[in-house]
Amino acid sequence: MVFIVDDSMYERNRSKAVKLLAKFWDHAKGCYYHGYRMLTLGWSDGHSFVPVDFSLLSSSKKKS
């Protein structure tokens, strides 16, 4: 039994008037996207995954 911390990307490319929407660089795709970073804490027994808590992370700085 383990705890897993997952840092995923939550894209909102079609949104313009969403509060605290930030511009992030996706290293896997090699491009920028608008959205949030989603930090998830979960519990796993090797066969199943149960999310315990999550947080949507953003940047308060404006990048052009």
pTM for the whole structure: 0.64
Contact 38, 55 (CB under 8 A): yes
Question: In which band, very low, low, confident or very high, does the pLDDT at 49 lie, cut at 50, 70 and 90?
Answer: very high
Q: Residues 13-45: pLDDT tens digits?
A: 777 777 788 888 888 889 888 888 889 999 999
Q: How far from 49 is each of 3, 11, 43, 57, CA to CA, in Å?
A: 9, 22, 6, 22
Number of H helices, E strands in the chain: 0, 4
